């Protein structure tokens, strides 16, 4: 498995509108897409910074993964997404190296990407996402 670049950085927020305002007014970026991902119980907002995207995540359900994260830790960096050629193969290779997976197989994420997560217990505390087109 070799990642070609960081695709996006996922940031959990308590309130998407407030967060968009911050990223637009203070960081001078333009939100180019807002998308709800029902599967993950989140509403996302995207910004492009050079080759990397910022993905803001607001929970649509307190019991969802982002809802629990914000409840425990507050807003903040949630995950880093690495672009790989094939998510299923990258997950399998990580598992063969003893890494605990959250997703055994890829699934559809925001922007129609194939995504899969590694467990932060196995990645030195960094919730790691693989993604591919
Ligand atoms: Zn992500």
Residue 111 CA to residue 92 CA, distance in Å, equals 23
- Rounded to the nearest 5°, which phi and psi values hold at 85? -70, -40
Q: Which residues pair with 107 in a beta bridge?
A: 115
Give me ligand 1 centre to Cα 63, in Å.
Answer: 18
Report helix, strand or coil for 25. Answer: helix
CA of 127 to the centre of ligand 1 (A): 10
How far, in whole angstroms, is CA 114 from its chain's centroid?
A: 12
Q: What is the pTM of this model?
A: 0.93
Q: Residue 97 Cα, ligand 1 centroid: separation in angstroms?
A: 23
The structural domains of the chain, ordered by start, are: 3-132 (3.10.180.10)
Please state the length of the chain: 133
Calculate how far, in angstroms, residue 53's C-alpha sits from the geometric centre of ligand 1: 10
**Are 118 and 100 in contact, with CB atoms under 8 Å apart?**
yes
DSSP 101: B
Ligand 1 centroid–CA 102 distance in Å is: 13
- Kindly report, residue by residue over 36-84, the tens digit of the pLDDT: 999 889 999 999 999 999 999 999 999 999 999 999 999 999 999 999 9
């Amino acid at each position: 498995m070799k990642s070609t670049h960081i695709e996006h950085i996922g940031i959990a927020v308590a309130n998407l509108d407030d967060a968009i305002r911050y990223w637009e007014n203070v960081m001078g970026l333009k939100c180019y897409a807002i998308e709800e991902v029902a599967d993950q119980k989140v509403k996302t907002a995207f910004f492009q910074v050079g080759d990397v995207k910022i993905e803001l995540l607001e929970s649509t359900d307190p019991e969802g993964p982002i809802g629990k994260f914000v409840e425990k830790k507050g807003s903040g960096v949630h995950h880093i997404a690495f672009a790989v050629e094939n998510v299923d193969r990258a997950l399998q290779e990580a598992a063969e190296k003893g890494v605990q997976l959250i997703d055994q197989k890829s699934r559809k994420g925001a922007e129609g990407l194939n995504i899969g997560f590694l467990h932060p217990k196995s990645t030195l505390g960094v919730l790691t996402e693989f993604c591919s087109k």
